[in-house]
Structure 1
Amino acid sequence: MDRAVDDSITEGGLLGPMFKLAWPIVVIQLLQVTYNIADTFWLGRLSADAVGALSLAFPLIFLLISIAGGFTTAGSILVAQYTGADSEGSAGEVAGQIVSFVTLLALALSVLGYFATEPMLGALPSQAQTTDQIVPLARQYMEVFFLGLPFLFGFFVFTSLMRGYGDTRTPMRVMFVSVALNVVLDPLLIFGYGPFPAMEIEGAALATILSRGVASVLGFYVLFVAKAGPDVEVADLVPDLGYIWDIVRIGVPSTVEQSMSALAMITLTAMVVQFAPPVVSAYGLGNRLASLVFLPAMGLGRATNTMVGQNLGAGKADRAERAVWIAAKAGAAVMFVVAVVAALVPEPIVSVFLATGSEAARATVRHGSTYLRIRSVEFVFMAVLQVMLGAYRGAGNTKTAMAFSMVALWVGRVPTVYYLAFVAGIGATGIWVGMALGSILGAIAATLWFTRGTWKETVIDEDEAVADGEETAERPETPETPGAPAAESPDLSEASGPSEGK
């Protein structure tokens, strides 16, 4: 197999391939956030309560998404390590197993989520005004969203497999078309126009589901028809207990990590809804803005996942370690600049998303501006934390990544928010400060542990990888090379996909 392009990840300089992997991931994340921003922008013109409803809905949606999300992480890890070991056959086989496993799980979660929406919302101890004004809107949004949950995971699986393979540009192209479709559908379905009925908040959910359906179809076309990613065949969809065990073994810690993150978000939301609606809306809006400014950190973290996975698969642990430190320094530098901007001019940024002119909207902007300014303190630490978590995941140490995520959330964030907001009596400001402290604590702990060097082992069966690699070498060469530039993938500039954030 021709390794000329793929060797840019496992050979030569590190900064170039790191950048080539990271920038499409940042664009993908930006496009994913655009789903949320589009909803927030148009619903903000509907009412501040509609924006608050998204604040309640997202953590509950994320709880069910996280159950299957950890297994897409396992797919990325296994594909990266088999690809680095030059084991094309195993990379394709594990890709097929991930597709079938996660699809079945997504169907089950779709049914569960739809029927569990009302009980989940009812369990939140919200203020009376919030219960009357915001909770019913959140229920409407969630019920529509859960019906389309399988479409969400179709693109998640596609993106994770292609990222592990070293191709981040093709998912970016698919994502672009889907986001463009969502941006067009949002105002049509929320407010109604021509043949489109005014569905209000349900329209926002439906626009996202339809857009993600397009992304999933395009993603599976790339994998199974265009053959631009891992060499996956339809026959690889048949369950194989050996691969399923690897997926479960590696994926369960990531699933637990994401589920505990979702529970932390729900716990935080349960605290926030005890405040007035403007605080609830500011919390949701601030989180969405934070997810936007964290894009460089998220991109470098996921690029680090691939760099570490492929280099460890190739037996180059020292190169993997150098890649991590380069990513951490680059991420910290970029996020420092972003933090300065957010700290200096938060109000113009926040006010873009609320234009109803009501007193509730003005109060939301005031709270949201304070929130963004305080959270800017954590931006540099967030970059370092994401890179370190990406390194642990790339090595297959998903339990370690889980542990430090828990430190950030359940040691640094949740108890601090509770203490400052309710015990110390600081109120909303206590929420904003507590949210920022979690990443700071998590980054320090994860970095100190990383220096021990105990993460430098692969999780794949090296003998199997070598055998598969020898078989691959005997097969005719194909133009689909892991890590190849987007020009070697089919032109999907007219296609696109979903958002992890919604």
Structure 2
Amino acid sequence: MSFNLVDTFFISLLGTQQLAAISFTFPVTFTLISLAIGLSIGTSAVTAKALGSGQTDNARNDSLGALWLSVLLVSLLALLCYWLLDPIFLLLGATPDILGYIREYMVIWLAGSMLLVTPMIGNAILRAAGETKIPSLVMASSGVVNAVLDPILIFGIGPIPAMGMTGAAIATVVSWLAGFIFILYWLKVKRGLISHWLMPWTLFISVSRKILHIGLPAAGANMLTPLAMAVLTAIMATYGPEAVAAFGVGARLESLACLVILALSMTLPPVISQNFGAGQFARVRDAYQLCCRFVLIWQAVLYGILALLAYPIAAVFTDNPQVATYLRWFIWIMPLAYGLQGIIILTNSSFNALHLPAKAVVLSVFRLFICYVPLAWLGGVLLGVVGVFIGCIIANVLTAATAYFWYQRVLLRFA
């Protein structure tokens, strides 16, 4: 998430049009990231259950198959996005002048996407094996590399020319490359979670089916989020590029504000899957409830901090008064429901960990297309940009209550 936020900050220094351009890219980039997240969820659930059942060789096969499967699927999706680049962003409401900036960023970003997915899947394998420090180190180090390279490549220094949006994309891809090399080394040499690089085709198909049974619905559920974001971006585009720019910055701030939730959504599933494999359903229930209570308290504290810092945060990202006004309203309203959003995310990941991916998909559809988008649209009709934010809040309240009580009923069937 720091990649997106750092890119957004430095690109915002180029101007409002460039900031709007990077904001338009969010639904598309997050679509590929969502596919990778879904595959990592399937990888984590399958590998953790195998390890919890004492099937180490099966876990190694699952790990290798997951890496190859993720590279194949993400590369295909990236190629499709490249072919449809202009139609996608024109449909989202990008103007021709902004589209030029979008192309500068997205062509390179898509070309390097394979280097992003491998560390994500590798980190999921390590977490499934109980290793959390190395995944943190890999992602943090890559984020630092990106932050160092961004200003150098965007604005230029010495013999390095200023490359603008193109420089931001190159910085991101280079930082992914560093994570790509390190994670493969750690999996193969340090942890022995991969015993070889190739596998028989029949075994690859068998492993892929297991992972896709959970990973494909999980990826589909995750990819609904950028689809909904695309609709919301199109709604924002009706209020002008300033609204799009503010919404794009707010979405990236939201990703950063929800880091703890996202961390729990990645570390809770291996705990649930391992105890699911061992038949310890009381621990499954306790872990879920503990995480839900924690995110409500954590996000309430975080809201207070964000609300107090709304003015300086807006000033960091823009000197356009209209963009700053929209962004402050985003900060004052949207984080009110981040704790409830956390319950939704944790419930989704917990369903996947119990090998019930269809329920996670249903919950995502309910949240995004029965509650989130319709209520945001209605709020916009009634109250403009601020009304869109209020509609999102109401949607999270309704969905969080539904998610929590539904999960409790599912657990009663296992107990």
Bigger mean CA offset, 194-203 vs 379-388 = 379-388
Q: Please tell me whether residue 281 in structure 1 is matched to residue 245 in structure 2.
A: yes
Distance in 2 between residues matched to 1:325 and 1:64, nearest whole Å: 30
How far apart, CA to CA, are the structure 1 residues paired with 2:161 and 2:201? 42
1:42 and 2:21 correspond: no
Secondary structure of the residue aligned to 2:409 is: coil
Q: How many residues align?
A: 414
Are 1:366 and 2:366 matched, yes or no?
Answer: no
Among 128, 131, 140, the residue aligned to 2:104? 140
Give, in whole Å, the separation in 2 of the partners of 1:456 and 1:350.
48
Aligned partners of 1:189 and 1:197 also within 8 Å? yes
Indicate conservation of the 8 Å contact 1:92/1:233, yes or no: no
1:63 to 10, 31, 55: 31
Given that residues 285 and 411 in structure 2 are in contact (C-alpha distance below 8 angstroms), is that contact kept between their aligned partners in structure 1?
no
Q: Could you tell me which of 206, 222, 226 is aligned with 2:170? A: 206
For residues 447 and 179 of structure 1, the distance between their equivalents in structure 2, rounded to whole angstroms, comes to 34
Quick one: distance in 2 between partners of 1:164 and 1:206?
Answer: 31
Structure 1 match to 2:376: 417
CA deviations 1:73-113 (Å, max 9, x no partner) are 21011111111112211111101111111112223223222
Among candidates 387, 397, 409, match of residue 440 of structure 1:
397
Of 214, 217, 225, which residue of structure 2 is paired with 1:261? 225
Q: In the superposition, relative to structure 1, how do residues 387 and 269 fare at CA in structure 2: closer, same or farther (>3 Å)?
A: same
Q: Is the 8 A contact 1:52 1:134 kept in 2?
A: yes
Aligned to 1:271: 235
SS at match of 1:134: helix
TM-score, scaled to structure 1: 0.78
- Contact in 2 for aligned 1:286/1:371 (Cα 8 Å): yes
Question: Does the 8 Å contact 1:311/1:320 carry over to 2?
Answer: yes
Cα drift, residue 337 of structure 1: 0.7
In the alignment, the residues of structure 2 paired with residue 434 and residue 135 of structure 1 have an alpha-carbon distance, to the nearest angstrom, of: 29
1:332 aligns with 296
User: Secondary structure of 1:234's partner?
Assistant: coil
Tell me which structure has the larger Cα radius of gyration. Answer: 1
State the partner residue of 1:187.
Answer: 151
Residue 238 of structure 1 and its aligned partner are, at CA, apart by: 4.8
Match of residue 387 from structure 1: 346
* Distance in 1, Cα, partners of 2:326 & 2:200: 49
* Cα shift at 1:134: 2.5
Deviation, 1:35, is 1.0
Partner residue of 1:308?
A: 272
- Do the aligned partners of 1:317 and 1:456 also contact (CA within 8 Å) in 2? no
1:102 equivalent in structure 2: 70
1:27-54 CA deviation, whole Å, 9 max, x = no partner? xxxxxx2212211221111112212111
Q: Are the equivalent residues in 1 in contact too, given 2:86–2:99 (CA < 8 A)?
A: no
Residue 196 of structure 2 is aligned with which of 201, 220, 233? 233
Which sections of structure 2, spanning at least 5 residues, go unmatched? Answer: none
Alpha-carbon shift at residue 342 of structure 1 (Å)? 2.3
Change over 3 Å in CA distance of 1:345–1:188 after alignment to 2: closer
TM-score (norm 2): 0.94
Q: CA deviation at 1:205?
A: 1.0
Partners of 2:101 and 2:58 in 1: how far apart?
46
Which residue of 160, 180, 185 corresponds with 1:196?
160
Letter in 2 for 1:233: H
The answer for the alignment partner of 2:84 in structure 1 is 116
How many angstroms apart in 1 are the aligned matches of 2:141 and 2:202?
Answer: 32
Q: Measured at CA, do residues 211 and 140 of structure 1 come closer, stay the same or move farther in structure 2, by a change above 3 Å?
A: same
- Measured on the aligned residues, the alpha-carbon RMSD in Å equals 2.0
